[in-house]
Amino acid sequence: MQHDVAVLEWLLGGDPAVRWQVLRDLLDEPPEVWEAERQRVAESGWGAAMLERRGTAGWPKGRWTDAPWSLLQLLACGLPEDHHDARADTDRALSRFMPDADVEPPVLFKRNDLCHLGFWLGLGSYFLAGDARLPRLAETVLWAQLDDGGWNCVVRRRPETVHSSFHTTFNVLENLRIAAARGVVAQQTFADAEARALDFVLAHRLYRSDHTGEVIDARFTQLTYPWHWHYTVLRGLDYLRLTLAIRDERAADAIELLRGRVRPNGRWPLQGRIPGTPLVEMEKPGQESRWNTLRARRILRAVDG
């Protein structure tokens, strides 16, 4: 890929949240190298700025500033899993809707939005590994998987729903992967659920109707970040790169879409922001984005070998 050295230097000149992932995913540095950089997330840059916004009463109220959004962004930045405040916030949230591990999946599902169950499963598995409530939470999101392979939070209000949502599918799938990595979900159970979900995603070529071939939603194609609960092709491909599905020919259209968004200098822009108030403004829309460039390059690295 052209501009390799210059782009890597530019990426490494950014925030610790990006740098440690560049070291791991683009430069293949050993764990002791990128882990040392990851530890800086809580101490400097975006991660530290986010943590400063947390008051004694918790996170500021608002769209994208309170929990779970604040914790999800810190997780994406690589905040160490033993961070005291993140652990306390996650435990407090779980205790509100799941005071013990005996809540049956149908009851838990009716009480809570499915996307949020997925979010708290991932956050709990990361910050509270070993918590006795997590297996039941995982059981609930697995129980809610639809016959077409994905998930849809609308089912709680409209039980007759049979078609999955890209938004909900990735809000659940990403966090099931964290749960499986932390031993909350058995690997084979996760692999089976993931295979079904990815077949749903690939049947739609990541962003097209499986009936007409038309783009489902133009916003799927935008290089938006943070994505909060919203799906984008970039988000989908960044998940697929972790699997053999990234080589599936049904992903080729989405991959070419991503290739077509690169600027002549080898960097990808931030094309927009989801309406709302960010906890911290990491990058400005319209400008070149280290987040998007990191993700695009590691996706294409997985594709091109």
Digits of tens for pLDDT over the chain (305 positions)? 556 899 999 999 999 999 999 999 999 999 999 999 999 999 999 999 999 999 988 899 999 999 999 999 999 999 999 999 999 999 999 999 998 888 899 999 988 999 999 999 999 999 999 999 999 999 999 999 999 999 999 999 999 999 999 999 999 999 999 999 999 999 999 999 999 999 999 999 999 999 999 999 999 999 999 999 999 999 999 999 999 999 999 999 999 999 999 999 999 999 989 999 999 999 999 999 999 999 999 999 999 98
Structure tokens at 12: 């490494």
Show the domain range for 167.
80-198
* Total number of domains constituting the chain: 1
Does any domain span residue 157?
Answer: yes
Handedness of CA 260, 12, 83, 47 (dihedral sign): negative
Start-end of H helices in the chain: 4-12, 16-25, 31-38, 45-53, 69-77, 84-97, 105-111, 114-127, 134-143, 166-181, 187-203, 233-240, 252-259, 290-304
| Nearest residue to 293 (alpha-carbon basis) of 73, 26, 35 | 26
In residues, how long is the chain?
305
Does any domain span residue 143?
Answer: yes
- Residue 288: phi and psi, rounded to 5, are -70, 140
Sort 249 into a burial class: Cβ within 10 Å, 0-12 / 13-18 / 19+: exposed
Q: What angle do CA 175, 180, 183 make, to 5 degrees?
A: 130
- For the CA atoms of 33, 35, 39, 40, the dihedral, rounded to the nearest 10 degrees, stands at 40
- Residue 148: phi and psi, rounded to 5, are -80, 0
Structure tokens at 110: 């009716």
- Map tokens 């949240």 to a residue: 17
Does any domain span residue 173?
Answer: yes
Q: pTM for this one? A: 0.96
Give Cα separations from 29 to 3, 21, 36, 37, 242 (angstroms): 20, 10, 11, 11, 18
- Residue 100 has what pLDDT? 81
Give Cα separations from 16 to 34, 36, 54, 153, 279 (angstroms): 10, 10, 20, 34, 17
- Residue 266 has what pLDDT? 97
